[in-house]
Chains A and B, each alone.
Chain A
Amino acid sequence: MSIQIQNIRKSFGDFVALKDVSFKVETGELVALLGPSGSGKTTLLRIIAGIEAPDGNDGAILIHNADTTAISFRDRRVGFVFQHYALFRHMTIFENVAFGLRVRPRRLRPSEKVIKEKVNELLKLVQLDWLGDRYPSQLSGGQRQRIALARALAVEPSVLLLDEPFGSLDAKVRKELRLWLRRFHDELKITSVFVTHDQEEALEVADRVVLMNEGRVEQVGTSEEVYHHPANAFVYNFLGNVNLFHSRVEEGKAFLGEMPIDLPAESARDAKSAMVFVRPHSLEIEHERNGGDNFRAKVSHINAAGPLVRVDLMTDWGDPVHVEISHGRYSSLGLKREDEVFIRPRERKVFVERETGTDESKT
């Protein structure tokens, strides 16, 4: 079942949480809503679920092409997994999962035998059928997360919504659980949307990523698309580690220290300033000023633990630079703290601030 989000707006008092958001989630897709805190992603998820109502009359949520804006929870059939799981603390795990079946109107309520079968089946599905008579407080975070998922699935939802599903777990459990969720989704093929602020999580798990910032959708695309072809400065900055340099523009060229960067002719004329983005692994450290396609920096910190050597440097003009190089390169350079070196960007992305707006160019 597809989910179509149309012109959704929402304000809380003076705070505008969502500014006219529209996009579509296709049937069977696993989509991540990714953005910093306060970007409106959780509010959007709650509006899709029907927990919050959008402002105004022109906004609509269409599930399987049917407008659900005026439909109650009961008939919406949306599975929602809360950030802190919201398991019923006074009920056993079995009763938690059975809840959605027990509260059905009498004529639709399954018999006790059917409920029992169904719940046990769901507990097996999340691989926790041995926990049925425990209480939520006796479970670990990862187990609670899976029970919350089983409980949401008990009502046979047409779409599944997860709010920061791995937010309150420690790093190792997070990694395991997100791979598990991906496999789980591939088995069930239920249209799912999850909210996260962790870009690694979104890029790894989701079919497509919806990037949100300040109540707007910045970009929608597959992991590869948004990572390699970011639509704007925000997306570039938000996805992955990146060095950002604010550079002055003189005579149609941006300058990183002494190093000039050509700007595209059409934006060069009225450019005010430029933002230069370079990923840490696209920077080369050299001892010599070969040519001049580089700028000067001083090594301030070296961390050689891990698959790559991470070097922190400081430019002449006081910007910090973060560089990742291989161990082989590191030993051939013989880097030490306080070394004066030159940095050459192999690949960079420039966003030009013009009098009329922001433009991009890649060189």
Chain B
Amino acid sequence: MLMAMIAANNGNSRNGTGGLAEPPWLRLVLISSTLLFLGLFLVLPLIVVFTEAFKKGVEVYIESVREPDAAAAIRLTLTAAAIAVPLNLIFGVAAAWAIAKFQFPGKSFLVTLIDLPFSVSPVISGLIFVLLFGLQGWLGPWLSDHDIKIIFAVPGIVLATIFVTFPFVARELIPLMQSQGSDEEEAARTLGAGGWQTLWRVTLPNVKWGLLYGVILCNARAMGEFGAVSVVSGHIRGYTNTIPLHAEILYNEYNSTAAFAMASLLTILTLVTIALKAFIDRKSRSEVRAVSKRMLTEG
């Protein structure tokens, strides 16, 4: 395959940019080192995850996924994502809209604030919630008086997940909306559209692919988050364990088949994410291509 690629490149360079092309040995070195790196750090682990998960056969795999604690972990992960992703979708659109389309004091501070979950270590994020809502924390006494449990319970996991996935949608949308400016929104307003009509008919359709991409990334992180969730979870089996936490516990118990079965679920999520991303890229690009193609044929 490698040689075929190089041969194809040689063919191209003879037709076109012959004089400027790098020498074949350099291309060989560059391409093979890239492929080697990809194979070692991405493809090999992927293979390991699935071979380990299926080592004792498909039945054992299915059994370890359906085992009650594992099923609970899957349910909790899905619940946390189902709450965190829509909330951050709404927040992300609102924040991006405010930042990209309006001028107000404190704007750059808000942008920095949105980035905070990216720049803080997830473990620290988890600790913040423990210090805030834990038994010894600021709000701890009040919460325990009212019989509300956040830390070492599902609400804490949801909160931590929301916090770490906070920037994804907004980060994806802000540059996109800024590059589009607010001309179209102004045009919509002068044509009599209200604020909601402008949002639904003009702003959102213009950013739909970026929005979808942000949601996918947000979801992948929400399901895969380890550090912050680990701190607030308390690792109560069958109750406060998410998929990544459960995988770690199983691995520490030398139950590697079950651990890799859990890991394979997250890996499948990753593969689906990559596939969706590729699909979105192709979709948004093919729209552009269709447009230019029609321009060419119809003059």
- A-to-B contact residues, CB < 8 Å: 49-51, 73-74, 78-80, 82, 84, 86-91, 99-100, 103-104, 134-135, 137-138, 151-152, 154-155
Contact B186 A86 (CB under 8 A): yes
* Least distance between B173 CB and chain A CB atoms (Å): 15
User: Which B residues touch A50, using CB under 8 A?
Assistant: 190
Number of residue pairs across A and B with beta carbons under 8 Å? 65
Among B184, B189, B295, the residue within 8 A (CB) of A88 is B184
Among A86, A90, A104, A138, the residue within 8 A (CB) of B187 is A86
User: Which A residues touch B189, using CB under 8 A?
Assistant: 51, 73
User: Which B residues touch A91, using CB under 8 A?
Assistant: 205
Q: How many residues of B contact A (CB 8 A)?
A: 20
- B-to-A contact residues, CB < 8 Å: 183-184, 186-194, 197, 201-202, 205-206, 291, 294-295, 298
Assembled-state Cα–Cα distance A130/B186 (Å):
27
Residue of A nearest to B198 (CB): A103
User: Which A residues touch B187, using CB under 8 A?
Assistant: 80, 82, 86-88, 151
Between A and B, 29 residue pairs with Cβ closer than 8 Å are: A50-B190, A51-B189, A51-B190, A73-B190, A73-B192, A78-B190, A84-B183, A87-B184, A87-B187, A88-B184, A88-B187, A88-B188, A88-B201, A89-B184, A89-B206, A91-B205, A99-B191, A99-B193, A103-B191, A103-B192, A103-B193, A103-B201, A135-B291, A138-B291, A138-B295, A151-B191, A152-B190, A152-B191, A155-B191
Assembled-state Cα–Cα distance A110/B282 (Å):
38
Contact A99 B188 (CB under 8 A): yes
Q: Report if A103-B194 is in contact (Cβ < 8 Å); known contacts: A88-B202, A90-B205, A134-B294.
A: yes
* Least distance between B268 CB and chain A CB atoms (Å): 33
Contact B183 A86 (CB under 8 A): yes
20 new A-B pairs (CB below 8 Å) besides A80-B186, A99-B188?
A51-B186, A51-B189, A73-B189, A73-B192, A82-B186, A82-B187, A84-B183, A87-B187, A88-B184, A88-B188, A89-B184, A89-B206, A100-B191, A103-B201, A134-B294, A138-B295, A151-B191, A152-B190, A152-B191, A154-B191
* Least distance between A247 CB and chain B CB atoms (Å): 47
Residue of B nearest to A76 (CB): B190
* Least distance between A79 CB and chain B CB atoms (Å): 8
* Least distance between A267 CB and chain B CB atoms (Å): 47
User: Which A residues touch B186, using CB under 8 A?
Assistant: 51, 80, 82, 86
User: Which B residues touch A74, using CB under 8 A?
Assistant: 192, 194
Assembled-state Cα–Cα distance A131/B58 (Å):
58
* Least distance between A355 CB and chain B CB atoms (Å): 44
